[in-house]
A and B are shown apart, each in its own frame.
Chain A
Amino acid sequence: MNGMLTLRDKLEAGMFAVTGELGPPRGCDGDVVRKKAGMLRGVVDAVNITDNQTAIVRMSSIAASVICMQEGVEPVMQMTVRDRNRIALQSDLLGGAALGIRNVLCLSGDHQSFGDQPGARGVNDIDSIQLVYTANRMCNGKKILHSEEQLVSAPDLFIGAACNPFAEPKEFRPMRLKKKIDAGARFIQTQCIYDVHAFREFMKKIVDMGLHKKSYILAGVMPLKSAGMADYLNAKVPGVVVPQPIIERIKGVPKDRAAAEGIEICCEIIDELKNIDGVNGIHIMAIEWEHRVREIVERAKLKV
């Protein structure tokens, strides 16, 4: 944590914020989380702790978030609606808040067929927007879903949601973002951006709709490690588009220079994103590359 300023404090004070990402391990070794947290401490304002990302069983987001806090890193607890029903989700919002977690990111989650438990029953009792609504009702309405009774001690979470400006149907994306913000999302982290032009067009619509005044938007970036990764993202990751010139650029350098080129590209993208109207911060998704985040933040002059 950066002095006494939380992610929320910074954004509410109109300061530019930077968030990172940390994937909990497939195992119960808390030191893995501690080590990664150490690489991000003082580098970013807060760190998203993924929730069984790609539907692979991992240490829980809530536990890894608490370990992060012990290491002096402010977590953003990710929470998908894939694995828990509304009872468990609300219970974990209360439990997370009791443990000191301040931020929650409400997500649909990758479909269970992608992971190591394809036979699992996806819960999807409520959807991601309904989770935002539920969390907001709890924090600001001080009520549990379907109940009019006032909570004696309601949590005060900073509620976030994700947005993919590049997924189809594109015309619906700004409206879907509006639905999330209207439901109570105070900050938004976007899918990783490689096509800055397309994102700029998207942000124009968001600004026209006045959504940037109701929520803090953090533009997502993911450094490319290799040309293969760029191809993989294009081919296999739904809703992620790496434009051809970027692929050619990374293919144009020797293999051992590809990662450095990827970081260079990432820094250039951040540089452009910083100056787009309505963008309040950068969300750096560098899973299993936590040790390179400092370099990105420093080179992109994202002073935290």
Chain B
Amino acid sequence: MIVAELKLYDEIKSYLEGCSSVLVAGCGSCTSICHSGGLRETESVASWLRSDTGMKVRSIIIERQCDNEFVAEIEHVLSGVDAVLSLGCGAGVQMIAEMYQGIRVYPGLNTKFVGTTHDRGIFIERCRSCGNCKLGSTAGICPLTRCAKGLQNGPCGGSENGMCETGDGRECAWCLIIERMKAQGRLDELYRFTEPVIWSGQVPGRYNWGIGVK
């Protein structure tokens, strides 16, 4: 899922200064699952804004903000609205902004990463959408995402006790890869040189025209 976290209230409020009617739009997909843009969060933000400002604040949950069919369903609640505060990911904010170009749309969340649920309420980053997946060669552990230096040919000289030299509490991705490859009897595969990553899949705007099957 796309993991996002709620912005600080003061930042949200600063965007909406001067507005008289605001729609807070949650998202029923990823940001609901990661507890940043679901029903509960949407209602809380709406009620903060209501009690703290004189604005007229309505709220709605869009099933999927990244899908134009679902975003089309909010048209009926937009009359008289000055601004939409989206509690979707960055894609959701842009979908709403694109479909209702006369209305200001503000992000209520900071979109963080593509990740998994680690524990209840704890989400961890697992993918950087490089566009050129090679997870099969590293036993399903992504060094581009999980190694602080994105190394592709093994660990740097800084790993200690299985931890990354950055000391930010992350495990050394290469220690994990080596351990798992070893357990699978595949350590020798890591002795092969990995050529430079072709990053063109991650160039900004690369997929603006879309990919997919018809």
Q: Which residues of A contact B (CB under 8 A)?
A: 81-82, 86, 108-111, 113-114, 122, 124-130, 133-134, 145, 162-164, 167-169, 171-172, 175-176, 178-179, 182-183, 191, 238-239
Contacts and interface: CB of A to CB of B under 8 A. Distances in A.
Which A-B residue pairs are the 3 nearest by beta carbons? A164-B157, A238-B158, A238-B165
Given A167-B155, A169-B159, A169-B175, A239 B165 contact: yes
Interface stretch (B10-18, B85-93, B190-198): B190-198
Interface string B141-175: 00000001111111111111110011010001011
A182 B193 CA distance: 9
A130 B195 contact: yes
Interface residues of B, number: 31
Contacts of B165: 110-111, 238-239
A266 to B, nearest CB: 20
A129 B161 CA distance: 23
B175 A129 contact: no
A111 B157 CA distance: 11
B207 interface: no
Given A191-B157, A238-B159, 10 more contacts: A81-B149, A109-B149, A110-B165, A113-B168, A124-B150, A130-B195, A169-B178, A172-B178, A172-B190, A176-B155
Contacts of A164: 157-158
A111 to B, nearest CB: 5
B interface: dominant SS? loop
Nearest to A241: B160
B179 interface: yes
B209 interface: no
A113 B165 CA distance: 10
Contacts of A191: 157
- Among A86, A109, A164, A238, chain B packs the most CB atoms within 10 A around the CB of A238
Given A175-B190, A182-B193, A168 B149 contact: no
Contacts of A86: 196
A178 to B, nearest CB: 7
B196 A125 contact: yes
Given A111-B165, A169-B179, A238-B158, A124 B153 contact: no
B196 A134 contact: yes
Contacts of B148: 111, 113, 122
Contact of A126 (B160, B162, B168, B196): B196
Given A172-B154, A175-B191, A179-B191, A111 B149 contact: yes
A254 B84 CA distance: 70
Contacts of A172: 154-155, 174, 178, 190
- Among B158, B159, B160, B190, chain A packs the most CB atoms within 10 A around the CB of B158
B149 A145 contact: no
Contacts of B153: 127-130, 176, 179
Nearest to B179: A169
A110 B165 CA distance: 9
Interface in B164-214: 165-166, 168, 172, 174-175, 178-179, 190-191, 193-197, 199
Given A168-B155, A238-B159, A238-B160, A82 B193 contact: no
